[in-house]
Chain A
């Protein structure tokens, strides 16, 4: 895992991880997603509010992912190289979160709030994590769940632009899952079309 090269310099990543998310990068992502939503201006209010509901469900997934990586990082179980990658992935989830919040607000919705770290710890049974492998396995499981969720909700979106956002989120999570499962020494999926079935 430590051989994986992360584009972002580690000290910066670490700072983002422990402190606030890096504002410049995130808002750029948010803006690009929002720009993609401009064409939805004419869509009806009812289908917009349905789409907002699904976006909020997606936002809930991102809150959970951010907190899961936080729990992993704070566990003290991760080597430096692995921690750097976890930090990078958490940063991606923060970018997803910020983009989703911006889009939900733009559509007149109210973004769901994050729960407390302790609530996520309980729901994810963080007390059962005893090794780096346990942490990586939990992260891989959550990323896989998110991939399938994002692909699965695509048909529910009335807006094609938002369906595309869901596909892009799934692509990022697939990247994460692939790296994590390689780090765990797991084989690649045996068959094509294994995601989102």
Chain B
């Protein structure tokens, strides 16, 4: 990476508020726009249902046909693992079948905050 790219990155980062916890409200909008094509909170669709996913064992929703890779992954959906999954599912679990990724760290943090909120509100 050349110095201009690094500078641009730093500038971008400095312009962004710190999202340590993530904004669940914004996450809800992102979820609606990007995830609901395949997922719902309470029903298995093309992807597994999401309510309760934070802290859940990966590939553990009954009645959902996971890829063998995710089912056998032995991962737990900690926030850190969710972040890695959303950034690049194939890098975290080679052979997975989601394929969809979220490029921006801020967006991932907000999505995860939303998933965490919905995990505790049935």
Q: Which residues of A contact B (CB under 8 A)?
A: 49-50, 53-54, 56-57, 60-61, 64, 112, 122-125, 141-142, 144-149, 152-153, 155-157, 197
B36 touching A152 by the CB < 8 A rule? no
Residues of A within 8 A of B67 (CB): 53
Residues 26 to 64 of chain B near chain A (Cβ within 8 Å): 33-34, 36-38, 40, 43-47
A153 touching B99 by the CB < 8 A rule? yes
Q: How far is the CB of B65 from chain A (nearest CB, A)?
A: 8
A50 touching B95 by the CB < 8 A rule? yes
Partner of B38, one of A49, A50, A56, A57: A57
Partner of A197, one of B33, B38, B45, B96: B33
Q: Which residues of B contact A (CB under 8 A)?
A: 33-34, 36-38, 40, 43-47, 65, 67, 90, 95-101
B38 touching A149 by the CB < 8 A rule? yes
Q: Which 7 residue pairs across A and B have the least CB separation, nearest first?
A: A145-B37, A156-B99, A149-B37, A53-B97, A123-B43, A60-B46, A54-B99
Q: How far is the CB of B45 from chain A (nearest CB, A)?
A: 5
Residues of A within 8 A of B38 (CB): 57, 60-61, 145, 149
Q: How far is the CB of A179 from chain B (nearest CB, A)?
A: 18
Partner of A141, one of B36, B47, B95, B100: B36
B98 touching A123 by the CB < 8 A rule? no
Q: How far is the CB of B2 from chain A (nearest CB, A)?
A: 23
Q: How far is the CB of B81 from chain A (nearest CB, A)?
A: 19
Alpha-carbon separation in the docked complex, A56 to B46 (Å): 9
Partner of A156, one of B33, B36, B44, B90: B90
Closest to B30 in A: A197
B33 touching A148 by the CB < 8 A rule? yes
Alpha-carbon separation in the docked complex, A147 to B33 (Å): 10
- A to B CB contacts below 8 Å, 30 in the list: A49-B95, A53-B67, A53-B95, A53-B96, A53-B99, A57-B38, A57-B97, A57-B98, A60-B38, A64-B45, A112-B65, A123-B45, A124-B43, A125-B43, A142-B37, A144-B37, A145-B36, A145-B38, A146-B37, A147-B37, A148-B33, A148-B34, A148-B37, A149-B100, A152-B99, A152-B100, A152-B101, A153-B100, A156-B101, A197-B34
